Structure 1
Amino acid sequence: MFFASCPRGLETLLLEDLAAAGAGDLRQTSGGVHFVAEWPACYRANLHSRIATRILCRVAHAPYVKEEDIYRLAFETSWPKWFVPEQTIRVDVNAVKSPLKSIDFVTLRIKDAICDRFRRDFGRRPSVDTRQPDVRIQGFISSDECTLYLDTSGAPLYQRGFRQKTVEAPLRENLAAGILRLSGWQPGTALLDPMCGSGTFLLEAAQIALGRAPGSRREFAFQGLRNFDPLAWKGLLDTAQAAEKPVQNAAIFGSDISPVAVRAALANLDRAGLLPAVKLGSGDLLEIDAPAAHGVLVSNPPYGERVSSDDELAAFYPLLGHALKRRFAGWNCFLISADSRLPKLVRLTPSKKTPLFNGALDCRLYEFRMVAGSNRGKPAADPS
């Protein structure tokens, strides 16, 4: 049994990814999906899911009353089945409504139990590496149950393996991919991010347009497990890479008022080998024209916790709304923001509002369907 995590608000999209990978018995919960699968489906999900953050394999589960119950569960788990004592480990624990006083102490007890099990079986124990471990163990503790998982992903799956340059407040790649899917954008349709920052939307869109699997340029933790099947993995990776299209113009456009951001986006696209697919320039959203008669605009505009004061935002948002009405008639515009004032200040009525989380920030993805003239008076869907 496995559990895949994702940004809250994207669980339905993650379920679609897992079903496409061959997973079964899918059960959606807040922040992820439980599923049953054979290991090749786990490999496929890591390779192909644009939405997942991590994919965890459940290795132990039991009720508990005190810390020593959790120690016993971890000690009795057959860790040598999965990895060898020469590999390094890291243990992390998340708890919800747990009566235990110290989660740090529980984490330490799980680590001790794993090491004690290896000492018993091999006379030696794995070392701890909190930065780049070979094996990550994840504990989840509810009010009366403990579940232990092996992380099959390693580095979070939103780390595609090529982005190097960042600017302030970037979106994670899996959230950007989810927003692109929620927007209904399809390759061949013009796409613009006029406040592109380090280029996250552009990178994700280019990969989608070129059929590039998001995990095809990185390694995974499952490759270091004892049950790893290298032939099965090679077949999946070869098939994914054979399906990629040549890198060419994909009607994807980006710009930013900050030259630093534009340079970061250029460097990231170049490092990813995707630069020819994207047309990137420097410009102010309030002044640039739409690059096509119709298309999809996606952006993560500045808001409260990011880069601007409230007074600056109160002045900027009406200008943003005016620019969208004047320059982007015929476009569907999607803005993600944690600022609930955005629709009122841009003086546009969203046709849809989708709750999403950008890290810990409770956000909304606002859809504005731009038509000639004012967009006022149209009812909003999903008033959450």
Structure 2
Amino acid sequence: MTKDTPFEIFLVAPPGLESLLCAEALEQGFADATITPGGVTLTGGWPEVWRANLTLRGASRVLARIGAIRVMHLAQLDKRARKFPWADILRPDIPIRVDVTCKASRIYHAGAATQRIETALRESLGATIAPDAPLRLMARIEDDLCTFSLDTSGEPLHKRGHKEAVGKAPMRETLASLFLRQCGYTGTESVVDPMCGSGTFVIEAAEIAKGLFPGRSRAFAFEQFASFDPDLWQQMRTANTPRHTDSRYYGSDRDTGAIRMSTANAERASVSDIANFRHNAVSDLIRPEGPPGLVMVNPPYGTRIGEKKLLFAVYGALGKTLLERFRGWRVGMVTTDLGLAKASALPFSTPLAPVSHGGLRIHLLQTDTLR
């Protein structure tokens, strides 16, 4: 397999948000991106894998489906796994771990299949197998076909690399970007988050406005593959020139610690010139100067932070402030509790299906332009 040999690439998406990730992939020039359960499928070579990790905001991981072998029994898996061209892709000096799943196949024992593949890697490549290895090979045996995939991302892609300070129950950056997209945000309007926490929505929106690559500050698993080209990768990374924008991004929170965190995170993300954070309660929220934009808020749910019964007044104060001072703006709200959202009295349209996040099922609620 050469650097440019095409293969299937799978972009992992939060369940239910596949269409939003597909739209982003198409915008980023992945022309054959197609929605599939759990994510988006496209084809390309290793440069497309690198570019997907670097530029896509909504993907949780990028998997490279590097090949498949037909296997009817364990002895056949042992023989054919040894003949697989591992050295084209993997380095013997980088430890790897193997995860196997079996479904509707004559090979049904995942543990035994794992042992055969690990042995093949040790004896044909000289690889070290370790449960905490930085690289992960996944084998899915379904209908007697064993498909090999590599996790090319390493750490989940919501870990952008420049957000060090995190508060309670943070919103993942990947999910925040998809919710912003769902609310119609394209990077050309201001965004306000009156309960900003560590600043995820504000920073993500500001990065989109400046055209900054989400993966610019971090390392990826694919950098340790035999197929990696460091010179081409450096060209990709340095091709990112920030855009000028007249839009501004505002976060506020009643917690002074949250404002310190969000301000520091914005500095590291290189958006502090257009992102501003201030300490105030929602009832003291001031509408920014300039044209209307989007209010994007992830209030506390009561599930993990504080007592739920105390939050009805908070949601009510938020809704009252927005209805009185943010005429012409749209609102997006993330919550686990539709009853709390109703307490805001904001004119939300029918909620979308809930999305799983950190063990919770959260809803994105949206309004049209407030009148």
Same fold (TM over 0.5): yes
Give the structure 2 partner of residue 267 of structure 1.
264
Give the structure 2 partner of residue 79 of structure 1.
86
Q: CA deviation at 1:174?
A: 0.8
Percent identity of equivalent pairs: 33
CA change 1:361–1:348 in 2 (3 A) is same
Q: CA deviation at 1:60?
A: 3.5
RMSD: 2.9
Give the structure 2 partner of residue 128 of structure 1.
130
Matched, 1:116 2:119: yes
Q: CA deviation at 1:233?
A: 2.1
Provide Cα deviations, 1:90-109, integer angstroms capped at 9, x if missing partner.
33456778999876x36xx4
User: Scaled by the length of structure 1, what TM-score is found?
Assistant: 0.83
User: What does residue range 288-367 of structure 1 map to in structure 2 within 5 Å?
Assistant: 288-292=285-289, 294-355=292-353, 356-367=355-366
Aligned residue-pair number: 362
Matched, 1:225 2:225: yes
Q: CA deviation at 1:73?
A: 6.0
CA change 1:19–1:86 in 2 (3 A) is same
Of stretches 56-65 and 323-332 in structure 1, the one that deviates more from structure 2 is 56-65
Q: Which runs of 5 or more structure 1 residues have no equivalent in the other structure? A: 373-384
Of stretches 223-232 and 43-52 in structure 1, the one that deviates more from structure 2 is 223-232
Of stretches 231-240 and 205-214 in structure 1, the one that deviates more from structure 2 is 231-240
User: What does residue range 178-193 of structure 1 map to in structure 2 within 5 Å?
Assistant: 178-193=178-193
Provide Cα deviations, 1:59-99, integer angstroms capped at 9, x if missing partner.
24356677777666654533222112211113345677899
Matched, 1:50 2:47: no
Q: Distance in 2 between matches of 1:90 and 1:353?
A: 41
Task: Look up the SS of the partner of 2:33 in the other structure.
Answer: strand
CA change 1:172–1:92 in 2 (3 A) is farther
Q: CA deviation at 1:230?
A: 2.9
8 A contact 1:7–1:359 mirrored in 2: no
Q: CA deviation at 1:175?
A: 0.7
Q: CA deviation at 1:201?
A: 0.9
Give the structure 2 partner of residue 13 of structure 1.
20
8 A contact 1:58–1:149 mirrored in 2: yes
Find the partner of 2:279 among 250, 268, 282. 282
8 A contact 1:47–1:216 mirrored in 2: yes
Q: Which runs of 5 or more structure 2 residues have no equivalent in the other structure? A: 1-7
Q: Distance in 2 between matches of 1:251 and 1:310?
A: 33
Q: Distance in 1 between matches of 2:82 and 2:337?
A: 47
Q: CA deviation at 1:249?
A: 7.3
Q: Distance in 2 between matches of 1:48 and 1:6?
A: 15
Find the partner of 2:255 among 253, 258, 265. 258
User: Scaled by the length of structure 2, what TM-score is found?
Assistant: 0.86
CA change 1:97–1:113 in 2 (3 A) is closer
Give the structure 2 partner of residue 378 of structure 1.
none
Q: Distance in 2 between matches of 1:258 and 1:102?
A: 52
